[in-house]
Structure 1
């Protein structure tokens, strides 16, 4: 039987799989979308565990100011920046440039139209 943490991680991975190429989001935005407003750190733990999963684009999840805070979980650490740049995202000094332009907000992008 899966624990609540494992179920939450699965939900995080489902959201991360929906982030389009060339876009990025934050740990907090994912947590907020999943109804866990103070769960950014838990989303970070999920991302740390996802780096071996080929179908979860963990490189597209950064902190709220666009910093590549999870880069040390990539091997080598430069790989996170390389993957973002391959998708057309500019990174300088471990920070996404013009983060507001590439920011993907799941609350907006995945909103149900009723």
Structure 2
């Protein structure tokens, strides 16, 4: 994702010098911020795979893979919460609010995380995301989203 750089932990600077007490992100936080920033851009009714997210982030940062993306997503509600803007709100499963639309990230077969399968599939159906005939996976041919790229035929 173009333009990702080492952001500061404190957002209260107005350009120029970093705010007093601000520290640069660690490599893990920098990677997590890039992943979460990309996931937050996935439009409703669309999906991305862990591998695709890893490839896009690696284009800019030169590191990471699908497992690292999975680790970031697993920690998006607590460990990396400080990397998500405070005003970030996405309507999600059961109309709850989330900072990151985790249900739009699936494995290479189009399956959401097993431990959240029902909630993810319910949210994807509510958004109108194309699913396979059995309704248990995302139809990636029709639903995959590429940032700044052409939309596949739906």
2:12 — aligned with what? none
How has the CA–CA distance of structure 1 residues 93 and 24 changed in structure 2, closer, same or farther, with 3 Å as cutoff? same
2:67 — aligned with what? 41
Larger Rg computed on CA atoms? 2
Query: Does the alignment pair 1:78 with 2:118?
Result: yes
1:94 aligned residue (136, 139, 146): 136
2:102 — aligned with what? 58
Separation in 2, partners of 1:82, 1:12: 23
Uncovered stretches (5+) of structure 2, i.e. residues with no partner: 1-22, 82-97
1:106 — aligned with what? 147
Separation in 2, partners of 1:71, 1:3: 30
What TM-score comes out, normalization by structure 2 length?
A: 0.59
Uncovered stretches (5+) of structure 1, i.e. residues with no partner: 110-114
1:3 aligned residue (26, 36, 43): 26
- Is 1:15–1:30's contact at 8 Å kept on the other side of the alignment? yes
| 1:21-77 superposed Cα distances (whole Å, 9 cap, x missing partner) | 010000111110111576111001111112466221010000112111x241x4xx5
Higher relative contact order (CA 8 A, sep 6+): 1
How has the CA–CA distance of structure 1 residues 37 and 10 changed in structure 2, closer, same or farther, with 3 Å as cutoff? closer
1 or 2, which has the higher helix percentage?
Answer: 1
How has the CA–CA distance of structure 1 residues 37 and 102 changed in structure 2, closer, same or farther, with 3 Å as cutoff? farther
The Cα of 1:94 is off from its aligned counterpart by 3.2
2:10 — aligned with what? none
- Is 1:71–1:80's contact at 8 Å kept on the other side of the alignment? no
Count of aligned pairs:
104
What TM-score comes out, normalization by structure 1 length?
A: 0.77
